[in-house]
Amino acid sequence: MGVRKFLALFLFFLSESSAQRPNIVFIVADDLGWNDVGFRNPDMKTPNIDKLATEGIIFENAYVQPLCSPSRTAFMSGMYPFHAGMQHRTVFPQQAVCVPLNYTFLPQELKNLGYATHMIGKWHLGFCKWECTPTYRGFDTYFGFYNAHEDYFNHTASSYGGLTSGTYLDYRDNKLPARNYSGEYSAFTFAQRAVDIINRHDVSQPLFMYLPYQNVHAPIEVPKKYEDMYPNVINEGRRKFSGMVSALDEAVGNVTQALKDRGLFENTLILFTADNGGPIEWYANNWPLRGGKHTIWEGGTRGTSFMYGAGLKKTRTTYDGMIHAVDWKHTLVSAAGGTQETTIDGMSHWDSISNGLPSKRTEFIYNIDDFEVPDEGHAGIRVGDYKLILGFPGGPDGWHRPMNRTQDDIYEETVYTTGDEPVHLFNIREDPTEHNDLAQQMPDMVAYLRARFEDYKKTMVPANFPNPDPASDPRKFGNAWSPGWC
Ligand SMILES: *[C@@H]1O[C@H](CO)[C@@H](O)[C@H](O)[C@H]1NC(C)=O
Ligand SMILES: *[C@@H]1O[C@H](CO)[C@@H](O)[C@H](O)[C@H]1NC(C)=O
Ligand SMILES: *[C@@H]1O[C@H](CO)[C@@H](O)[C@H](O)[C@H]1NC(C)=O
Ligand SMILES: *[C@@H]1O[C@H](CO)[C@@H](O)[C@H](O)[C@H]1NC(C)=O
Ligand SMILES: *[C@@H]1O[C@H](CO)[C@@H](O)[C@H](O)[C@H]1NC(C)=O
């Protein structure tokens, strides 16, 4: 057989087999709390999300990191942030930091399986050089912003914690600054871009879309129409926040509708997850869990998450197996029919989830961050039913009902007090809300978990958290946050 004919045959088989691979849509909701969705909290209006969640499988124990760059590192690389130097806070705009370039990202794996790969939304994994950015790390196309947060309408970000004053554009269409979207709320732009991609997609190829929305991260901004959906919420911040959740829900609805219209929905697998617990100080809510974003309490680390669609055997509505953010990459590659090297951190739960089997994960690290202890570092481990927290768990602490009347609703209970070397132990299966500290009662269990923790800590890479670099100044790049300075 001639090379050309062989190649044609090979490509034919490749396209035949890849045609059967599921389309994958991976949606990340930024800063969405445990109790900020309709399927948990009837005050929230999220019909599209609720339908997918309740017709799919809701994860009761899917863990994320307490903050966004660390969680996104885990989503894309399948590695713990403490192995990548990404465990401390997040990437600030003027820091010359990105996830190590030798890590293979999820879209690169899926591209190898024949997928078209698209990303729309928030990156936050570093952008100081092009090699760090989405279209160099596996995405065919990209529309979105590089940093943590910005204005939802004018798409400019300040250098928070950096050297430059003023706000500069952080919005990009592939590699070009997208300057003509001022005034358009990002959820509309992102949903419309996703719909356009779906409409243009060559259906002989499997589709992967990574949709990390800006909603519902601060600043608290939403078109009035969505705020008006919550006339019973007296607190203005919570009312607007709730509207932001509903705008996100509508965007999810528009994307699923486009998949249906194009005949792709039946063969699509959707993974939805928050990147961390909800920030209580920004009106999110994690009731009845303890703490929120920035903490390694359950309220900061148990993500609202579910899967819907192709390949799932619907035998239950919830899955209580232990899952960590580092596992999603492996799990989605398995769902796509791929095999991949088992890295030291992530594992695939595809077989367990799709067939309702127990999780293979028995332990995980909440975080290991010894930078700036005691105020900022977090250290915690889960082994079986037990969770050990060493040192400061992060704040705010406490159990908070959704805000309604006044801003004061939020700080009703603050429980944590600093000690010399605070140690907390909880049985999370029996006490998921962390009311009953067992550290005094169970010193052997504390010693056992501490020893496991120390084993992991030996493998920690120091946090990469440099001072801001003046070379990043957006004024040198046409007033836009841009790559090209590291
Ligand atoms: C990436 O490079 C670092 C530094 O050389 C090394 O320690 C690490 O093991 C590498 N990781 C991978 C996934 O190749
Ligand atoms: C964008 O909006 C923010 C408020 O969220 C404001 O501070 C900033 O000046 C605006 N920037 C531009 C370029 O309009
Ligand atoms: C912005 O400009 C691009 C490139 O010309 C165009 O494709 C896009 O439709 C424009 N978007 C808006 C909202 O004007
Ligand atoms: C969803 O689609 C409808 C109909 O095209 C549109 O009016 C609405 O603005 C879209 N919403 C979002 C959040 O994209
Ligand atoms: C907020 O408080 C008001 C006044 O007490 C009450 O009528 C309303 O139902 C509450 N709303 C929510 C969402 O709890």
SS3 state at 66: coil
**Spatial separation of the C-alpha atoms in residues 10 and 22, rounded to whole Å:** 21
Q: Are 48 and 191 in contact (CB under 8 A)?
A: no
- Domain membership of residue 306 (yes or no) is yes
Determine the average pLDDT of the residues in 340-369.
91
Nearest CA to ligand 2 atom 9: 167
Q: Are residues 29 and 106 both part of a single domain?
A: yes
- Domain membership of residue 147 (yes or no) is yes
**Spatial separation of the C-alpha atoms in residues 264 and 261, rounded to whole Å:** 8
- Domain membership of residue 305 (yes or no) is yes
SS3 state at 253: helix
Which ligand sits nearest to residue 249's alpha carbon?
4
Q: Are residues 51 and 156 both part of a single domain?
A: yes
Q: Are residues 216 and 251 both part of a single domain?
A: yes
Whether 176 has a pLDDT exceeding 80, the answer reads yes
Q: Kindly report the CATH number assigned to the domain that includes residue 421.
A: 3.30.1120.10
Strand ranges of the sheet holding 363-368, from the earlier edge strand across to the other edge: 363-368, 379-383, 386-390, 423-427
How are beta strands 268-274 and 172-173 bridged, if at all? unpaired
Residue 159 has what pLDDT? 93
Nearest CA to ligand 4 atom 13: 251
**Spatial separation of the C-alpha atoms in residues 166 and 213, rounded to whole Å:** 24
Determine the average pLDDT of the residues in 50-72.
97
Q: Are residues 103 and 62 both part of a single domain?
A: yes
Q: Does 167 sit in the ligand 2 pocket, CB within 6 Å?
A: yes
The model's pLDDT over 427-465, given as tens digits with 9 standing for 90+, comes to 999 999 999 999 999 999 999 999 999 999 999 999 999
- Domain membership of residue 154 (yes or no) is yes
Whether 87 has a pLDDT exceeding 90, the answer reads yes
- Domain membership of residue 247 (yes or no) is yes
The catalytic residue among 68, 98, 128, 132 is 68
The kind and range of the H/E element at 305 are strand 305-309
Nearest CA to ligand 1 atom 1: 102
The catalytic residue among 83, 88, 118, 124 is 124
Q: Are residues 466 and 437 both part of a single domain?
A: no
Determine the average pLDDT of the residues in 190-217.
98
Q: Where are the beta strands (DSSP E) in 325-440?
A: 363-368, 379-383, 386-390, 423-427
Angle (CA) 41-45-50 rounded to 5° is 70
Q: Does 467 sit in the ligand 5 pocket, CB within 6 Å?
A: no
SS3 state at 239: helix
**From the alpha carbon of 404, which atom of ligand 5 is closest?**
1
Whether 415 has a pLDDT exceeding 90, the answer reads no
pTM here? 0.94
Give the distance from CA 306 to its chain's centroid.
Answer: 12
Structure tokens belonging to residue 451: 């020893």
| Greater model confidence, 150 or 408 | 150
- Domain membership of residue 243 (yes or no) is yes
Residue 200 has what pLDDT? 98
For the chain, how many structural domains are there in total? Answer: 2
- Domain membership of residue 4 (yes or no) is no
Q: Are residues 276 and 418 both part of a single domain?
A: no
Q: Does 338 sit in the ligand 1 pocket, CB within 6 Å?
A: no
Q: Name the pLDDT band for 405 (thresholds 50, 70, 90).
A: low
**Spatial separation of the C-alpha atoms in residues 55 and 43, rounded to whole Å:** 20
Nearest CA to ligand 2 atom 4: 151
Which ligand sits nearest to residue 155's alpha carbon?
2
Q: Are residues 435 and 287 both part of a single domain?
A: no
Q: Are residues 141 and 203 both part of a single domain?
A: yes
Nearest CA to ligand 3 atom 13: 181
Nearest CA to ligand 1 atom 5: 102
**From the alpha carbon of 461, which atom of ligand 1 is closest?**
7
Determine the average pLDDT of the residues in 386-405.
87
Q: Are residues 74 and 140 both part of a single domain?
A: yes
SS3 state at 156: strand
**From the alpha carbon of 250, which atom of ligand 4 is closest?**
13
Give the distance from CA 453 to its chain's centroid.
Answer: 24
68 is catalytic: yes
- Domain membership of residue 370 (yes or no) is no
Measured in Å, residue 385 CA sits from the centre of ligand 4 at 43
Q: Are residues 175 and 191 both part of a single domain?
A: yes
- Residue 348: phi, psi to the nearest 5? -85, 135
Determine the average pLDDT of the residues in 78-105.
96
Q: Does 85 sit in the ligand 1 pocket, CB within 6 Å?
A: no
Strand partners, 367: 380
132 is catalytic: no
Q: Name the pLDDT band for 371 (thresholds 50, 70, 90).
A: confident
How deeply is 408 buried, as exposed, middle or buried, from its count of CB atoms within 10 A (0-12, 13-18, 19+)?
A: exposed
Q: Does 180 sit in the ligand 3 pocket, CB within 6 Å?
A: yes
Place of tokens 């660390």: 70
Q: Are residues 46 and 149 both part of a single domain?
A: yes
Whether 230 has a pLDDT exceeding 60, the answer reads yes
Q: Kindly report the CATH number assigned to the domain that includes residue 201.
A: 3.40.720.10
Angle (CA) 29-115-194 rounded to 5° is 40
**Spatial separation of the C-alpha atoms in residues 127 and 328, rounded to whole Å:** 23
Sign of CA dihedral 193, 230, 407, 71: negative
Angle (CA) 296-252-283 rounded to 5° is 40
Strand partners, 268: 23
Which ligand sits nearest to residue 184's alpha carbon?
3
**From the alpha carbon of 100, which atom of ligand 1 is closest?**
1
Structural domain including 394 reads 379-457
Q: Does 219 sit in the ligand 2 pocket, CB within 6 Å?
A: yes
Longest dimension (CA), the chain: 77
Whether 245 has a pLDDT exceeding 80, the answer reads yes
The model's pLDDT over 268-282, given as tens digits with 9 standing for 90+, comes to 999 999 999 999 989
Q: Are residues 351 and 295 both part of a single domain?
A: yes
SS3 state at 348: coil
Q: Are 481 and 133 in contact (CB under 8 A)?
A: no
Whether 16 has a pLDDT exceeding 60, the answer reads no
Q: What is the mean pLDDT of the chain?
A: 92
**Spatial separation of the C-alpha atoms in residues 89 and 217, rounded to whole Å:** 16
Q: Name the pLDDT band for 2 (thresholds 50, 70, 90).
A: low
